[in-house]
Amino acid sequence: MTDSSQVPAGTEHQSLYKMAQAQFERAADVVELEQGLREILKQPKNEIIVNFPVKMDDGSYRMFTGYRIQHSNILGPYKGGIRYHHDVNLDEVKALAAWMTWKTALAGIPFGGAKGGVNVRPAQLSNDELMRLTRRFTHALGTNIGPEYDIPAPDVGTNGQTMAWMMDTYVNTVAIVDRTRGRGVVTGKSLNCGGSAGREKATGQGVCLVIEAWAKARNLAVKDLKVAVQGFGNVGYFTAKIISDMGAKVVAVQDHTGAHLNGRGLDVEGLKRHNAQTGHLNGFPGGEDASLEAFWSVDCDVMVPAAIENQVTGKTAPLIKAKLIVEGANGPTTPAGERELARRGVEVIPDILANSGGVIVSFFEWLQNRSSEYWSLETVDQKLKDIILRAYSQVVKTAADRRCDNRTAAYCVGIKRISDAYKERGIFP
């Protein structure tokens, strides 16, 4: 988890929720979704906003605003991450919640979609302040979350420690007999706290699995690929690490502190150590510091935006040399960026497919908590591979059958599952 308050340069202002709705409408047209279901699915079911006080280390009190948006639970409990970032707002969280609905439906796992967050700069808070903020936020959410109802997970600015505090707070507010079951209220926990093997790396691993599948279909070897990664947090770091372990060259990494390039391939572990020691990428001896423009125009085959939204824009997309964009982040490509990529025939593997590894292994964690089991890493890895590659094949096939782009195809698969469930159940009363 990292603070990203310093370099939002190049970010194109874009209402994420409008962007998510336009993506949905495009696919709804393709599957000829009936008007009533469009109206239902365009809105989140519940919008929860809480204002809560936190005692700071100097004894003062500060008020914070937190959100939990529950978009859909037609296929199972609401599911989605909790973000701590200074840009968190209602519009953003509504878009992120809707994307979770399409993501879980596309993966074919029995969850719905939700997202939450607190508007805060986490790097400016001490560890104790973050703990009190997390506990107070969880308390404010109360029974709006629960292991059978709404299950948070880590996202930007949060991690396994945040989940341990959320889980501990939640189980201490429910009846004693429900405490063991209550551990399943969040996923992305550490192994000590009931997490799953393979969860921490799962999103990056899923990104690498789809890159491998894309390459295989084109008779390309992963070891011959040059990959650039934006973001060096959970998703960015594990993507860079796993793809370089698979033999590819990670030629560029960029985060909120700067960019670093090496055409012969960066030592990802060395860069991680440097980043942990100094707090930034610049100055790493195994390559050269670079400008934002140099990062976006780097010579590479695959570009993985794995930081925040609105990064592949009308300004940055024309610079990109990659043949493939794999959206590790949620909503990294703006409509102007997407038009430019389409114009040049650059393929995009959309966020709701590319970064679904995290929620897929969160599902495994939830199943393990329910049955008091621990699965081996091999079991988790294999099951993740099966599910994400099945979703990938469905998207590729749908894109070919419907003659549409991958994003629209991914939505079509998810929307179809949800609309089938609505049609059979009907709308109450």
The residues that touch ligand NAD, with contacts defined as CB under 6 A, are: 1-2, 4, 7-8, 154-157, 203, 230-236, 254-256, 306-308, 328-330, 355, 358
Residue recorded with tokens 């770091």: 237
Query: Residues, the chain, total?
Result: 429
115 is catalytic: yes
Q: Which is nearer to ligand NAD, 167 or 235 (CB)?
A: 235
Residue recorded with tokens 């079911």: 45
- The answer for residues whose C-beta is within 8 angstroms of residue 429's C-beta and 6 or more apart is none
Cα–Cα dist 70/77, whole Å: 10
Q: Which is nearer to ligand NAD, 411 or 419 (CB)?
A: 411
Distances (CA, A) of 310 to 14, 220, 296: 7, 29, 14
Q: Is the dihedral of CA 246, 383, 97, 342 positive or negative?
A: positive
Q: Which is nearer to ligand NAD, 332 or 404 (CB)?
A: 332
Q: Which is nearer to ligand NAD, 395 or 404 (CB)?
A: 395
For the chain, helix (H) and strand (E) counts, in that order, are 15, 12
- For the bound state, the minimum distance from the C-beta of residue 11 to ligand NAD, rounded and expressed in Å, comes to 6
- For the bound state, the minimum distance from the C-beta of residue 69 to ligand NAD, rounded and expressed in Å, comes to 14
What amino acid occupies position 392? Y
Per annotation, catalytic residue among 115, 189, 201, 249: 115
- For the bound state, the minimum distance from the C-beta of residue 275 to ligand NAD, rounded and expressed in Å, comes to 8
Which parts of 172-218 fold into alpha helices (H)? 179-182, 202-217
- For the bound state, the minimum distance from the C-beta of residue 117 to ligand NAD, rounded and expressed in Å, comes to 10
- For the bound state, the minimum distance from the C-beta of residue 233 to ligand NAD, rounded and expressed in Å, comes to 2
b/e per residue 320-344 (b: at least 16 CB within 10 A): bebbbbbbbbbbbbbebbbebbeee
The residue nearest ligand NAD at its CB is: 233
Cα–Cα dist 319/313, whole Å: 10
Distances (CA, A) of 112 to 78, 187, 212: 4, 14, 28
Q: Which is nearer to ligand NAD, 7 or 367 (CB)?
A: 7
Catalytic residues: 115
